[in-house]
Chains A and B, each alone.
Chain A
Amino acid sequence: MKQRSAISAYPVLAILALLVLVPMLSLVTISGSAGDDSAFWQSTYLRRVVSFSLWQAFLSTLLSVGFALIVARAFFQLGEFPFRNLLLRLFGIPLVVPAVVAVLGVVTVYGSQGWMPLGRDLYGLNGILLAHLFFNLPLAVRLLLPAWLSIPRQHWQLGEQLRFNQWQKWKHLEWPALAENLPGVILLIFMLCLTSFAVVLTLGGGPKSTTLEVAIYQSLRFDFDPARAVILALLQFSLCVLVALLSLRFQKLPEVEITQSTQVIAQRDKSRWLNASIVITAAIFVIMPMLAMFMDAFSGPILSVLGKSDLWQSAAYSLIIGLSAAALSVSAAWLLLRTSSDLAFANKKRAASTIELAGQVVYVVPPLVIGTGLFVLIAPRFDVFDWAIPIVILINAMMALPFAIRTLGPPMRQNKARYQRLCQSLDISGWHRFRIVDWPILRKPVGLATALATALAMGDLGVIALFGTPETTTLPLYLYHQLGAYLMSEAAVTAAFLLCFCLSVFWLLEKLIGGHSDVTY
């Protein structure tokens, strides 16, 4: 009679373990059997690559989180204002903007021919920092804002009554709420910047500004030196493990839906104008690269670019990869979460969170490291490029899995907590339960998770750069080749097309799967 928890997670965990361990094992084996590589270990090149990887990640995190603190605070202090939810949604867009599109936008705005040309060359650290800021500032705002919203209204009222000044409010009310989330946000963004590939590949990549990820790619695709790629991949893996171990201490990340306002304390004093200016500036910073890129696209050779069959073939590959990776990652997330929410419901919270953490293994073992492992494993036996599409689908599914888990986890756990006993008492189980209870309640988050995973995989320029060939080119890779050939006006049209394509597929999937809901929960 004892309730048995679902075991659906275990096959998924086994597959994930295989996908991580087999490539890692092949990396370690090759590294062990390689000849004397002490010269490479002591080389200035390696030292420069490692220090640049860490330096750009540190600076990107510092800037993103630093500005995000200012913007999130301004957002909070403004309270309710027109277009608040619209602006928050706008801050969600960079999540689905393909990195290579954002890069083109950044170049269009800040490049030497751009709207606001930076004094120094954009290609290098400056450009990388700007592009990382474009992606991570909005993300950090969305992650930090719930900390302010979690401060009880009564605490603000108490602060007013006790005549707290701004500093005392920060010290006694805001910092305690932030301190819980801030380390987790910092480490997450540091990890994202450390493993950032497309941005560094397109805006850096020269001898002075190469990260480990890009160096791995260059070793495999340009220098044809798998032994060196293995060393770089193992180094990158070690760095990620270090950051992940630190992150385990600060697991807490907010799960609050911030597009709905909960409680907002509006400031009535003159700082309202300052806060409004900060929010508007941040919004312009996010909008401008997209706007500039679209304006360039409209004045570009639209018909000639859209008339090329290569573009449509790349789009088809992107769509196939996106949909397949999304189907895999959302199914895997569903199966993992079935078990973890069962365990959480049975009060086995540690086991539940371990399963969910295992699904986020891609944070510890970066996709390019897995790709490198598979590359060196397959290359001596088969034509590695024949395997491009299935490998890219698998690795993109792994990359999207943490997002699918974060999107589906809270509603699945809530669904379990609210209706498990009711379903048990009414004998609603199996297919009936899925059809009548689970699917209608969960289809909206499933739609969002699928849309998100598809858009992420469609826009990814990572593993496909490693495995792609002229015959198996995705849209981001196609765009990257145009950028590499300095076909900037064609690239602008392709980038606009890619962005519209990703957003349309995102919107369509969210509507088709999520459906229309008039339910008041």
Chain B
Amino acid sequence: MLRIKQLSFNYADVDDAMPMCFELEVNRGEILSVIGPSGSGKTTLLNLVAGFIPATGGSIEISGKQIQHLSPALRPLSIVFQSHNLFPHLDVFTNIALGINPSLKLDDGQKQTIDEALKNLGLQGFEKRKPGQLSGGQQQRVAIARALVRRHEVLLLDEAFAALGPALREEMIELVKALVKRQNLAVIMVSHQPGDARIASERTAFVNQGRVIALAPTDELLNYSDSMEIRNYLGS
């Protein structure tokens, strides 16, 4: 579904930065967790896939089609950041509508799609509220709702739930799992919490120094890995 091959990048403005090179595959209906220490390259990986920074080599394929040469707007994927996902002056409905058409000219069918997304995310009745009137969890639900109405097959979560408390984080992950199953999405979820990977993913990738060091079933990677790097990171 999503295939990343020898995707490389180099921070030209950082003197001692190591060249990064990623290799990953995510299947339809799967949430692949990506964990690793700070500065390991997790967010850089998502920025490369989303096209925010240009890769120096390698390829990204979605459903067999290479997308690495496309601008961020043309890539068939959605992304949810940790914060600032919503425009503060626009209400919930308009924030979601931007995912369908940036000019905000919507037909009845598109309005219905937004209503469905609101319903699926438990946001009915919040349409007219501004982001400042929502809790952190509700704001992230709106961001996910917008990602869903775009109907792309790939969803990138960049520490999307890091600012939420443990219970709310778990609730959000369960919500994403249900949506992934329903819409058959391929998701990369970057997190600095190994516990998130446990809840969300059957497979987890451990990234360090700009490389995927290990890609294994989550339980195996978190509990039985022999890698010193992973054990140091987990503190086990």
Contacts and interface: CB of A to CB of B under 8 A. Distances in A.
A424 interface: yes
A521 B73 contact: no
A429 B98 CA distance: 12
Interface in A400-451: 418-419, 421-422, 424-429, 432-433, 436-437, 440-441
A521 B133 CA distance: 10
Nearest to B94: A436
Contact of A2 (B13, B54, B74, B89): B54
A441 B51 contact: no
Interface string A1-38: 11000000000000000000000000000000000000
A430 to B, nearest CB: 9
Interface string B58-83: 00000000000111111100110100
Contact of B88 (A2, A347, A433, A441): A441
Contacts of A421: 47, 50, 52, 72, 79, 81
B51 A520 contact: no
B87 A429 contact: no
B132 A520 contact: yes
A436 B102 contact: yes
A517 interface: yes
A519 interface: yes
B89 A519 contact: yes
B130 interface: yes
Interface in A485-521: 517-521
A514 to B, nearest CB: 13
A440 B72 contact: no
B89 A422 contact: no
A440 B89 contact: yes
Contacts of B71: 1, 424
A341 to B, nearest CB: 15
Given A418-B84, A441-B89, A426 B73 contact: yes
Contacts of B131: 520
Contact of B78 (A2, A425, A432, A517): A425
B34 to A, nearest CB: 18
Contacts of B74: 427
Contact of B132 (A422, A424, A433, A521): A521
B89 A425 contact: no
B102 A427 contact: yes
B103 A1 contact: no
Given A1-B51, A427-B73, A422 B81 contact: yes
B73 A425 contact: yes
Given A429-B73, A436-B102, A419 B87 contact: yes
B102 A426 contact: yes
Contacts of A1: 51, 54, 69-71
B234 interface: no
Contacts of B89: 440-441, 517, 519
A2 B68 CA distance: 11
Interface string B136-166: 0000000000100000000000000000000
Contacts of A418: 84
A255 B132 CA distance: 24
A421 B79 CA distance: 10
B37 interface: no
B88 A422 contact: no
Given A424-B73, A519-B132, A436 B88 contact: no
Contacts of B73: 424-427, 429
A186 to B, nearest CB: 33
B99 A422 contact: no
A2 B54 CA distance: 6
Contact of A436 (B50, B54, B98): B98
Contacts of B54: 1-2
B72 A428 contact: no
A440 B94 CA distance: 14
A191 B54 CA distance: 45
Nearest to A432: B102
Interface of B: 13, 47, 50-52, 54, 69-75, 78-79, 81, 84-85, 87-90, 98-99, 102-104, 130-133, 146
5 contacts: A1-B69, A2-B54, A419-B84, A440-B90, A520-B133
Given A1-B51, A1-B69, A520-B130, 13 more contacts: A2-B54, A419-B84, A421-B50, A424-B52, A424-B71, A425-B72, A425-B75, A427-B73, A433-B102, A436-B98, A440-B90, A520-B131, A521-B132
9 cross-chain pairs, A with B, having the tightest CB-CB distances, nearest first: A520-B132, A427-B73, A424-B72, A418-B84, A428-B102, A440-B89, A519-B89, A432-B102, A519-B88
